[in-house]
Amino acid sequence: MSMLRLPHLLLSLFFVAVSLLSAVTIASDGNDDTHYDRISLLATASDEIENDILETTLSVQREGNNPSELSEEVNAAIQWAIAEAKKISGVTVQTMGYQTSPVYQQRRLSAWRVRQSLRLESKDIADLSQLIGKLQERLMVDRVGYRISVQRRNTVEENLIAEAIALFQRRAKLIAKQMNRDRYRVVQMNINTGGVPMRPMMRAEMSAMADTRIAPSFEAGTQTVTVSVNGTIELQLD
């Protein structure tokens, strides 16, 4: 390439760069993300729902010098509890947490500990409470609590979703009217349904159950199920 043609080439490249910069600037101006007359609002709906499932976790634990014998004792107690639970219709049984661990005293192995848990649940609170009283002959009660079944919670949440959305719409219309706007559109909406945790018993009640070894009395009670709808609307004029 001759030295005479080099300045002309540089000049051409300069004009191309300027043209590209102008095109980028115009495109940026055309994609302005600034929005006006947008308002965020929240609507919630809740209901008190009776718990319909009683859950309990029981366990058996043995300590001694022979882990094989301990394991046999624990397994025998768990199998007995499973057999008793299966005698009652509607009780769900699940074995949990089998564990063998050493016990140390002054950094020396002194014994072995074997433990296993059993989880039971039922919609028939009276039957399960009777079963808990029976199983306390050989097992310890670790935890008892109540929860709402998935089927009932889904039905309740669907009704609350409809109620919360209707409330959201009423508030959006009210805002549009107060702001002297003809209508609005929903820009964004989020629907939140919180899971319902199990409600545990008080520790004092648990201790009393362990001491008396009798069929405990339970009252399911209620829990609050809440659905919230939050979103953004944009006010508009016809």
CB 118 within 8 A of CB 57: yes
Per the DSSP assignment, residues forming a β-bridge with 187 are none
Q: If 0-12 CB within 10 Å is exposed, 13-18 middle and 19+ buried, where does residue 179 land? A: exposed
CB 49 within 8 A of CB 152: yes
d(CA 213, CA 216): 8
Residue 221 pLDDT grade (very low, low, confident, very high; cuts 50, 70, 90) = confident
* φ and ψ at residue 91, rounded to 5 degrees: -95, 125
What residue ranges do the domains of the chain occupy? 38-48+153-194+228-236, 53-147
DSSP class of 31: T
Helix axes 125-135 and 67-86, enclosed angle (nearest 10): 150
Per-residue pLDDT of 17-69, as tens digits, reads 444 444 444 344 445 556 778 999 999 999 999 999 999 999 999 999 999 99
Per-residue pLDDT of 87-102, as tens digits, reads 999 999 999 989 999 9
Task: Report the CATH fold assignment for 53-147.
Answer: Alpha-Beta Plaits (3.30.70)
Provide the strand spans (E) within the chain. Answer: 38-50, 53-64, 92-105, 108-122, 140-147, 183-193, 199-200, 222-236
Question: How confident is the model at residue 218, as a pLDDT?
Answer: 73
Per-residue pLDDT of 154-169, as tens digits, reads 999 999 999 999 999 9
Angle 111-115-116 (CA atoms, 0-180°, nearest 5)?
165
Say which residue, 16 or 85, is predicted with more confidence.
Answer: 85
CA 24 to chain centre: 47
**Measured in Å, how far apart are the chain's first and last C-alpha atoms?**
64
Q: If 0-12 CB within 10 Å is exposed, 13-18 middle and 19+ buried, where does residue 227 land? A: buried
- Provide the whole-model pTM: 0.65
Per-residue pLDDT of 178-212, as tens digits, reads 999 989 999 999 999 975 555 555 443 444 454 55
